[in-house]
Structure formats: structure tokens, C-alpha cells
Chain A
């Protein structure tokens, strides 16, 4: 199923809409968000959290991580 999510990268200046199949992994979701930002190639480890601050398993699918339409996720660089 395709979802739309609101992603906030710690080194970006605004939240961005990410439309993605929910079978993709959390790590792929983070990469997709960073590709839209101003520092896509910066590298380094990433931490992905949901709105309440829980760390999401990067290997889990988006669906397994509990993200649904309209949810927020945050990506912090290591």
C-alpha cells in the first residue's frame, strides 16, 4: 500500500511529504527524505524516530514500524 508521510531531517529547514510503498524499509524511507534535502550526500549514520520519539528499526518495513498515512517521522544524522 502507498502511504504519504511527513519527514523532518535534522539538517533540513522544513518538513517534506514522502509518498512511498509501506513495504520499503525505514532505512530506505530515511534515504528518500534526505534525497530531497540540501545535504543528500553527507553520509554518516542515521537515526529514525516516530512522532513520540521512539527509535524505529532501520531494517523494519514502514508498515512494521507502525507508520501510517499522515504520520511524522524524524531523521537525525549520527
Chain B
């Protein structure tokens, strides 16, 4: 007779062998298993709600893959691009480049926990998580490849993470810190608890809702399917955090959460905030980025903190203030430095400006004059007048331009260390740097590299250094400079 699931599952998930010829510390060294080092006794109650078996995993994933590939097959290749808004196409290109290979790095992270996690149930869950992340790489690569026939820049789905493109350097810097250069415990808190529990809903579920309204059903199916995996393996973070709190590491746990919240916020405002409100067509916008952040990210995160009796991060007021401004400032940076990107960038048209002002009542007053000036420059001097030529000041922690929060409200700051002055976009970035100086001090931003001669200062050479073949691959104005309210709708390729 075949045993019922519940008769064998606990035994199978909790196979923690007793080592005979090495001791536990050698088997799970602190350097890679993490701090605080605790004997297995402290971890033996590690558990999570899904308790997925490998057999269930294979069956579920097969169904999910069949659903995604079914949509792909139904939309035969010639129809993949049909009816897609031109701005939406750029959003997908932006998303694919920034996310596809980050997921592959996520597989490495999960595998580290699959070996060095301190309980067998944790290691089992992480093994499934690694398989998830490989899937999250392969599906976007497949879809990106399908789209190559229509737009050659979709090869940045694979290429982006192998280049020195500045935004990708910022993303790699974060992901290296969050998981590639992290031990199993830090990884579980930073990747699973903060990033996956807190933020990926925004990138995957919010984007899925928008993709539905943008009639991009393959993208919708893909990102929604990915999020179901994320929701499962994100559960790794909770029991690891619980164990830390029960064993005197509250301060360490709070630091990891505060640090990673801020770092994720920086990346998401740059990636999701700008894409949702400047590339997605107005008809596809179900809510504003701020509304998504408030309802899907902030509220959920607050509940998670309350569950563990943890404090909200010390920089919370600044984060709330930035919700109204930071991604709008960032969009101006993307637009005026668009030749250093692999996707096209939009200037908001009349309808979009109305929508932005409805969602952000101070938008027109704050940003309207700057976009008006860019519009005048298009009319009087053509594209050349709408580009920035000087170097932007880049933060030595997040690696993004120091442009927060809005005109007249500057939060940049510096520290001097070892004869070098470091620039930061904000107090939280400086604070994180100061907590782990030796981890971050030797890294040079793109601007540092240009100043020291490691990277070329001439723009055409810099494009090549970033992996961008100009002018074919470099980002352009989405409407090619045609005044949006003189030519509506945007021309399709």
C-alpha cells in the first residue's frame, strides 16, 4: 500500500544526518552558512506553510509551463507583436534586460541555501527555489528570443547583465550585495524576506495586471506564473528570521531588513516606477506606482514587521516623501541620458501629464516646466538640445544618479575615508556604506571610472564600453521627437 503524503512527509523533509567524521561547524561553516552560528538544535523546528514535495513540484510546474507555452503557441510568432503599444514594447525590453539574468543569479543564491541552509526542510525548499529561478530565466529568454525578429534590442534580455551599462551595474551591485556575496542567513532575510516577500509582487503581479490591459497576454501569463513560484520560495525568509530573533540577533535582523528595504526601493523606483508611469500606455495603468507601493508593498511589509515585533526602518519618513517624487525625477534622468540605455524613453504627452497630475497633484508644478523646456528644445534645436552631456553624479552605494528627491530638495551627502571622498544620493545610502565599509569601499562607480581613466570619457567610446552599439542599440525618444500632440497615436514600427 502506498503511504499517504502526511505519513512520510515530515520524515522525508527532516533528514538531518548526524555528521561522524567532521563536526557540525565544519559541515556548515559560519562564513557561508551565516551568523549567528547556532547548533542544529536551534534550527530543528524550521518550517514553512507550503511543505511542497518534489513530486508535487514537478506536477505543478509542468502545468504552469504548459499554461505559459500554450499562450505562446496560441499567439503564433507573427502575432506576438500585434497590437502592442510602442511604449509597452519598450517596457518589456527594459524589464527583460533588468530581470532575466538576475533570476539566474537567484538560482545560484538558492543553491547556496540548498547546501548551507541549516535545516533539511530549508534546504529542500531552496532546492525547489533554485529550479524556480532557472525557470524564471529560461522563459523570459525564450520570449525575448521570439521578439528578436521584430526588434534586435531584445537580445539585451540575455546580454544586459554581461555589459557595463550603468543601470545594469547598479542592478548587479544590489544583487551581488543581496545574495551572490551573502551567506545563507543574510540571503534568506535579504532575498526571501525583504525582496521576494516585500517587492516582487510589484514587479510581477502589478505588471501582470497592466499587461492584461495592454493586451500582452503572453507577458501577463509569464510574470503571473513567475510570481506564484516567488510566493512559495519567499517563505524561506520567515522561519530564518524567527530563529534569529529567538537567539539574540534582533539588531542584526533589523539592520538587514532596513538595509535591503532601502536598496530595493532604489532599484524599484528606477525600474518599476518609471516603466509603469512613462512607458505603459495610460489605458493599461490600473493604479499609480505610489498606489501600488502603498497597497501592495508598504502595507504588507508593515504587517510582516508587526508579526515579528520589528521596527519600521529609521528612514521611513524620507521613503514616504520620495514616493511622490523620486521616480519622476529619475525619468528625467533616463530621458536626457537615453543614449546610454538599451530601450527607448518617453516624454509624457498631454493625456499622460493629466493622468500624472491626477495621481500626483504636485506633478505639474514640479516637473511640468522641465518637460516644457525639453519640448521647446526639440522645437528649436532638435534632439541634440534634449540630451544631457555632462556626467551625472552617481551614488557610491546604489550606483544610481544622485537626483533625489526633487528640484530644490537635495539629499546628497559625502564621507571621507582612506583619502577618498565618497558621494551618496541620500543619508540611508551613506548609512549602509558606513555599516559595511570594507564591503563597498573598493567599488568604483561609472563616473569614478571615467574620472580615473578606467572608462572612456568620450560619449561614443563610452557607448562601446557599456556594450551599446550606437546608434542602432542606443535608447531614443519613443516618438522620435515628433510632438506627441501633433501626432497621435504614436507611430508603430
Give A contacts to B, CB under 8 Å: 4, 6-8, 10-19, 36, 38-39, 51, 68-72, 74
Contact yes or no, B332 A14, CB < 8 A: yes
Chain A CB within 8 A of B160 CB: no
Contact check, A13 vs B391: say whether CB atoms are below 8 A apart: no
Tell me the minimal C-beta distance from B436 to chain A in angstroms: 20
Given the complex, which residues of A lie within 8 Å of B393, measured CB to CB?
A: 6-8, 14-17
Chain B interface mostly helix, strand, loop or mixed?
mixed
On whether the beta carbons of B407 and A70 are closer than 8 Å, the reply is no
Partner of B401, one of A11, A14, A36: A14
Closest CB-CB distance, A2 to chain B, in whole Å?
A: 10
A17 near B390 (CB under 8 angstroms)? yes
- Which of B82-90, B308-316, B419-427, B485-493 touches A? B419-427
Nearest CB on A from B324, distance (A): 14
Which chain A positions have C-beta within 8 A of B390?
Answer: 16-18, 36
Cα separation A15 to B83 with both chains bound (whole Å): 39
B226 CB → nearest A CB, Å = 33
* Chain B 314-356 near chain A by CB (<8 Å), digits 1 or 0: 0000000000000001001100000000000000000000000
Residues of B within 8 A of A (CB): 329, 332-333, 367, 370, 373-374, 388-393, 401-403, 406-408, 410, 412-414, 420-423, 447, 451
- B402 engages A15 (CB within 8 Å): yes
Decide yes or no: A38 and B389 within 8 Å by CB, A6-B423, A13-B406, A15-B401 being known contacts: no
Bound: A8/B414 CA distance, A: 13
Tell me if B388 and A36 are in contact (CB < 8 A). yes
Cross-interface CB contact of A15 among B370, B410, B422, cutoff 8 Å: B410
Q: Which of B373, B401, B412 interacts with A72 by CB under 8 Å?
A: B412
Considering only CB atoms, which chain B residue lies closest to A9 in the complex?
Answer: B407
| A7, A36, A70: most-surrounded residue (chain B CB, <10 A) | A70
Nearest 9 pairs between A and B by C-beta?
A: A70-B421, A14-B403, A15-B393, A17-B391, A36-B390, A15-B402, A6-B393, A8-B410, A13-B332
A15 surroundings in chain B (CB, below 8 A): 392-393, 401-403, 410, 412, 423
Contact of B412 among A8, A36, A39, A68 (CB under 8 A): A8
